[in-house]
Structure 1
Amino acid sequence: MRRDPALLALEDGRVFRGTAAGARGTAFGEVVFNTAMAGYQETLTDPSYRGQIVVMTASHVGNYGLAKDDAESDRIQVSGFCARAFSDRFSNPRGEEALLPALGRAGVVAIDGVDTRALVRHLRSLGAMRGAVSTEHASEAEAAALVAAIREQPRMEGAALGLSAGTAEAYRFGEPGGPRVAVLDYGVKRNILRKLAARGLSGTVFPAAATAGEVAAAGPWDGFFLSNGPGDPAALPACVGTIRDLLATGRPLFGICLGHQLLGLALGARTFKLKFGHRGVNHPVRDVATGAVSITSQNHGFAVDLATLPDGLALTHVNLNDGTCEGFRLEGRPVFAVQYHPESAPGPHDSDALFAEFASSLGR
């Protein structure tokens, strides 16, 4: 099947040409790469990828189709999608539809036929940057105009995407009867809620902008959970203030990804933007206390600055690739967080015990 030409352009003027897939049009976002060999549906539907054009390093994407049970949210979240080759058909008894029609229906502009090795090497050398994928800028003059438009787009620094990536209305999860948890939703993945419920926990998922007073009014709560999400944690000062109020209750608290960063800010640390981020399912992380190394799934472009951890905040996990902070805990309190994704599916299950630890702190 012949497809129309398309291109992916970067703010530094580099242009990669390929063929159109998914919807037609132009989409802007931060261009990042994911090194996972599988899990493209989880990537597409992860709210933490909102505002980003994701480049997959796997050579073939779409081979096993899509299945509704594998979605991490109710829709495709990425701004754009890129691969060396998208499969026109799939082979998988669990598969329910092919990738390309789903991208088109979701309005996601995508491109394949790109030299993704060259593109990823470029991003690794210069860092994640603003870009666009387009089916509407074929000529050299049009491509140059697109680069100029890219340079007018907002950067990820300062983007408060976590306020809009999650639910707009509070809703319940899990089967009542066990410890009750209030989840602050900055873009929570479905499998996080499944993991909490599997440990006998239930409760309510609140919008990111919910105040501590609004959360307390729906209580009482045995503990709190801070979810993953997209954007810059430093752009969410109201959320940081809410977390400080929740900490003052003395209840257990567990955070993942953006929740890890926001908790760090609430406790006095600072965050910074990584050069090209951590996105994949094979990142080694060392447990500081035991020395054990876990293979983890990751998706983040910001991190807690290890050098700014205040007294009383103990480093628990370190990324073995670049030495960045992957986890900490508040000494003497059942308050802890990790930067990586222990709930990830597909991906390693090395870190499932973190959910058991949180449940245990709630008396489960």
Structure 2
Amino acid sequence: MINKKAKLILEDGSIYEAYSFGYEKSSAGEIVFNTSMTGYNESLTDPSYKGQILVCTYPLIGNYGIPPITSNKKKLKRFFESNNIHVSGLIISYYSDNAFHWNMYKKLSYFLKINNTVGISGIDTRSLTKKLRDKGTMLGKIIISDNVKFYNPDKYNLVYKVSIRKKKIYGNGKYKILLIDCGVKNNIIRCFLERNCTVIRVPWNYNFLNEEYDGLFISNGPGNPKEYKTTINNISKVLICNKPIFGICLGNQLLGLAAGFDTHKLKYGHRSNNQPVILSGTNRCFITSQNHGYVIDSNKIPNGWKIWFKNLNDNTCEGLINFEKSFISVQFHPEASSGPTDTQFIFDVFLKFIKCKKKK
């Protein structure tokens, strides 16, 4: 059922008329677009979207509803990337109220409402996406009732809002992975547990220097990486230690900053499940899932480091590697697997580094 009329207002003054189908409140954030055809339940619950209003370019959204909101034995939501919706709003072209899927639990509108998240439809999202592509991501606000001010998420510590507050342990595997939670996705934890690992999940600002672990993992997360100086400083202190390190997405940027790289913001980011990346020095191409607005600046590369992957669309850095130190990181999401397994082998590379270190 379509509800109240709504407006989308961009910082350049553009106004789009729409209708509400989610929680009826006004909201503001950075307007970003994702070109994936499916996977809206994963995107909505991805902590990396904190502070952002998500535009879906695919015109028909909601037709398979929302799967059951259940957890596995490790208390991880089975079909979602976290326990809550993190986007500040959802913008689509057409909302399918007649949803059906064999595993459907409720309609998308229900899921938005119980999570107090605004959703609007009736907008030409492809036209809106072209504007964002040509002019770059913009601040915007969805007005349903009261007016709200524009909100720039890049100026705030968003990781604080999505990270856990206390240390938490998953599994009882052979290899101990210390996971710095900057907004980690559930499937990353699942990938480690499937590989005989114990995952020690700690807050973004946790002092882990005295912790016992076999490998350090730095998770994905939202916002400007340069805002998280505490995390960067903690990572810098362990670069001299003889422990393998692995970072994904924001974790790639934080590891890079700790190692001496710089970062910059992309014009409109990479947000889709079909981003092509190439393994440097080879002709091997992988199709990857991505969700980021910042990248590593590859113009100045510190000693011992190499660019591991590059994006075939814009030639930006998609991964770093330091063979001597057993440090690796990728800008894309190997756990998201656009196909059956795709780049999940990167988890195995990390575990191989750990096994080699333990033998010495």
Match of 1:81 among 90, 93, 110: 90
% identical equivalent positions = 38
What is the letter of the counterpart of residue 183 of structure 1? L
Match of 1:202 in 2: 198
How far the C-alpha of 1:334 sits from its partner, in A, is 1.0
Offset of residue 135 of structure 1: 1.1
Any runs of at least 4 consecutive aligned residues in structure 1 with deviations exceeding 6 A, and if so which? Answer: none
**1:248-327 alignment, distance < 5 Å:** 248-327=240-319
- In the superposition, relative to structure 1, how do residues 194 and 2 fare at CA in structure 2: closer, same or farther (>3 Å)? closer
SS in 2 for 1:22: coil
Residue 142 of structure 1 corresponds to which residue in structure 2? none
Report the Cα offset of residue 346 of structure 1: 5.7
How far off is 1:268 after superposition? Answer: 0.1
Q: 1:173 and 1:2, CA in 2 relative to 1: closer, same or farther beyond 3 A?
A: closer
Q: Name stretches of at least 5 consecutive residues in structure 2 with no aligned partner.
A: 70-77
Q: Distance in 2 between matches of 1:9 and 1:349?
A: 40
Q: Select 1:173's aligned residue among 170, 173, 179.
A: 170
Paired letter, 1:192:
I
Q: 1:211 aligns with which of 203, 207, 210?
A: 207
Question: Displacement of 1:65 after TM fit?
Answer: 1.3
What's 2:179 paired with?
Answer: 183
The residue number in structure 2 matching 1:28 is 28
- Output the aligned Cα RMSD: 1.5
Superposed displacement of residue 350, structure 1? 1.5
Structure 1 counterpart of 2:235? 243
From 306, 310, 322, the equivalent of 1:330 is 322
- Does the C-alpha gap of structure 1 residues 13 and 110 become closer, same or farther in structure 2, counting only changes over 3 Å? same
Q: Displacement of 1:104 after TM fit?
A: 1.0
The superposition leaves residues 295-343 of structure 1 with CA deviations (integer Å, 9 ceiling, x where unpaired) of 0000000111011221211011000111100001114121110000000
Shift of 1:282: 0.3
SS of 1:249 mapped into structure 2: coil
**1:39·1:346 contact (CA, 8 Å) conserved in 2?**
no
Q: Which position in structure 2 is the counterpart of 1:7?
A: 7
SS in structure 1 of the partner of residue 278 of structure 2: strand
SS of the residue 1:136 aligns to: coil
Q: Does the 8 Å CA contact 2:2/2:20 hold for their aligned counterparts?
A: no
Alignment partner for residue 220 of structure 2, among 209, 221, 228?
A: 228
Q: Relative to 1, partners in 2 of residues 1:48 and 1:20: Cα closer, same or farther, differing over 3 Å?
A: same
Q: Which amino acid aligns with 1:10?
A: L
Shift in Å at residue 53 of structure 1?
0.1
Paired letter, 2:194: A
Q: What is the CA-CA distance between 1:164 and the residue it aligns to?
A: 2.3
Structure 2 CA distance, aligned partners of 1:269 and 1:37? 34
Do the aligned residues in 1 keep the contact of 2:54 with 2:89 (CA within 8 Å)? yes
The CA distance in 2 between the partners of 1:179 and 1:50, in whole Å, is 31
Residue 116 in 1 paired to residue 112 in 2?
no
- Matched letter for residue 15 of structure 1: I
Deviations 1:5-53 (A, max 9, x none): 1111111101111111111111010000000001100000000000000
Give how far 1:3 is off: 2.3
State whether residues 32 and 54 of structure 1, in contact with CA within 8 Å, keep that contact through their aligned partners in structure 2.
Answer: yes
Counterpart of 1:33 in structure 2: which amino acid? F
Distance 1:313 1:66 in 2: 43
Superposition pairs of residues 97-112 of structure 1, within 5 angstroms: 97-112=106-121
Give the secondary structure class of the aligned counterpart of 2:299.
helix
Aligned residues: 347
Contact 1:158/1:234 (8 A) holds in 2: no
TM-score by length of 2: 0.93
Q: Aligned letter for 2:170?
A: F
SS of corresponding position for 1:100: helix
Q: What is the alpha-carbon distance in structure 2 between the residues aligned to residue 66 and residue 357 of structure 1? A: 34
Is the contact between residue 288 and residue 337 of structure 2 (CA under 8 Å) also seen in structure 1? no
